[in-house]
Structure 1
C-alpha cells in the first residue's frame, strides 16, 4: 500500500457524510473487508449502516469469556435484526487462559498493570490477530473524542501490526450525533449504556461513570494513566 494512496483517499472522503464515506471506501479499496464489533453504541451504528453492504464486508466480534450478560443480549438482538450478517466469533485459546489463571489467579489482572495487559493480550489481542489475518481493510468504531491519544487519528491509516488499512468512519462524530442516529433508526444498544457505561469491555474491568468523569474512566478504573487494551495502537504516520 502506497502512502500516497492513503493521503488521496483521506482527502476524497474528508468532507463526505459517513454513509458516503463508507460506500466510497467499500467500492474503492480492494481485498477482504472486515468490521470488528464489541456491540458498543458506535459499533451498533456502523453495523446498521453496513447492513446495506452485506456482500462487501464481514462482521466479527471477540468473545473474551468475561463479557457482561447485557453484552450477549445486544449481540442476540443484533443477530435477529441484522440476520443476513453472519457474526463470526473469535475466542481466546483455552490453553492460554488456563496457564494465566494458574499463574496469576482468576482475577489476577487486578494485581498489576502488567498482569492486566497480559490478560487483554490473551483474550483480545491474539484473537484479533487471527480475525484480521487475511483482511485488507479493518473498519472500527473509534471516535476522536473518546480519548486524547485518538485525537490525531485519520479516517484511513496504515496498521503496521496487522499489515492492513484501518478505517475509522465515525472519527469526527460526537457522542450526541451517534445517540441521535441510534434513536432515529431504532438500533438496539446495550442496556448498560443508559446506566452510565459509555465504554463497555469485560465485566470485571468496567464500571459505570460518575458525573463529570472522562469517557474511559470506567475502564480499568483501578489504574492511572492512558487506558488501552492493545487493540488500537495509534502511530501518527499520515501527516
Structure 2
C-alpha cells in the first residue's frame, strides 16, 4: 500500500488535477478515507452540517474518528445532541477534545469572561490549540465548511492545503446550501440541535452566539457586534 499524501506533497497543480475526478461529496468522502485511512479526523461542531457529515461519513467508514472541540462554553443543547449521536452511531470514535486550561485557570490568568475583551485569545486557547494537538498524528482533517456560509469561505475547495495546521483539509459539503442541509436532515430523520429552530443557523459557544434575523447572514449571530467572524480554525494566520 502506497503512503498517503502529506501536506508537503500537495501543490495547486496536484489539487486541481485531483478535483477533476470528483463528481460529488460522496466521491470526496470515499477518496478521503481510502487515501488517509486512520490518518484522517473529522472535527465536528455538531451543528446542522455536522450532523449531515456524521451520517455520510458513517456510510463510508463506520469506525471513523470524530472530535468535538469542547471549550466548556457550549450550549446544553449541543452537549445533549452529542450524547444522542453517540447512541445512534456507536461505531464512530467520537471524542471531546478539551483545552489544557480550565475556565477557572483562564480567568485567573487573563480575567473573567476573556471572550468579551479578547475573543481571539479565547478562541486560540480553547479551539485552535486543542485542534493543533488533536491533529498531531493526522495527515488530513474533514470540515463541514460550505461556500454559501460567508465571503471568507466562498472559495473553499474539496481539497485544501491548510497552512495553519500543516495538514490537508477536506470539505465535502462546499456546494451544499442551507436548504440542502435541512432537507437531508428531514429526509433521513436525523437528530439536530433544537436551537436551529430558534434562529440559530450557526451555533458556537453560548456566550458568543446569538440568533439572527430571518434570511440574515448565517454567521451574523457569531461574535455579533464585533468585526470577528471566524474562531481561527479556518484562517491561515
TM-score, normalised via structure 2 length: 0.90
Structure 1, residues 37-92: CA drift from partner, whole Å, max 9, x if none? 11000011010011123366311111000010000111011001011112112101
What is the alpha-carbon distance in structure 1 between the residues aligned to residue 45 and residue 166 of structure 2?
22
Are the aligned partners of 1:37 and 1:61 in contact in 2 as well (CA < 8 Å)? yes
How far the C-alpha of 1:6 sits from its partner, in A, is: 1.8
Where structure 2 has 5 or more consecutive residues not aligned to the other structure, the ranges are: 1-8
Which residue is equivalent to 1:174?
177
Which residue is equivalent to 2:106?
100
1:116 to 93, 96, 119: 119
Root-mean-square deviation over aligned CA pairs: 1.8
What is the alpha-carbon distance in structure 2 between the residues aligned to residue 22 and residue 67 of structure 1?
28
Which residue is equivalent to 1:233?
235
Which residue is equivalent to 1:25?
32
Structure 1, residues 186-205: CA drift from partner, whole Å, max 9, x if none? 11110101111110000011
Q: Which sits farther off after the overlay, 135-144 or 102-111? A: 102-111
What is the alpha-carbon distance in structure 2 between the residues aligned to residue 212 and residue 42 of structure 1?
18
Which residue is equivalent to 2:17?
8
Where structure 1 has 5 or more consecutive residues not aligned to the other structure, the ranges are: none
What is the alpha-carbon distance in structure 2 between the residues aligned to residue 234 and residue 126 of structure 1?
14
What is the alpha-carbon distance in structure 1 between the residues aligned to residue 142 and residue 194 of structure 2?
24
Are the aligned partners of 2:64 and 2:92 in contact in 1 as well (CA < 8 Å)? no
Provide the aligned length of Structure 1 versus Structure 2.
228
Ranges of 4+ aligned residues in structure 1 off by more than 4 Å: none
TM-score, normalised via structure 1 length: 0.89
What is the alpha-carbon distance in structure 1 between the residues aligned to residue 112 and residue 82 of structure 2?
25
What is the alpha-carbon distance in structure 1 between the residues aligned to residue 116 and residue 152 of structure 2?
24
Q: Does residue 1:57 correspond to 2:64, yes or no?
A: yes
Are the aligned partners of 1:54 and 1:84 in contact in 2 as well (CA < 8 Å)? no
Q: Does residue 1:153 correspond to 2:156, yes or no?
A: yes
- 5 Å-filtered alignment, 1:130-209, equals 130-209=133-212
Secondary structure, in 3 states, of the residue corresponding to 1:61?
strand
How far the C-alpha of 1:98 sits from its partner, in A, is: 4.0
Are the aligned partners of 1:40 and 1:200 in contact in 2 as well (CA < 8 Å)? yes
How far the C-alpha of 1:103 sits from its partner, in A, is: 4.2
Are the aligned partners of 2:43 and 2:143 in contact in 1 as well (CA < 8 Å)? yes
What is the alpha-carbon distance in structure 2 between the residues aligned to residue 86 and residue 195 of structure 1?
30
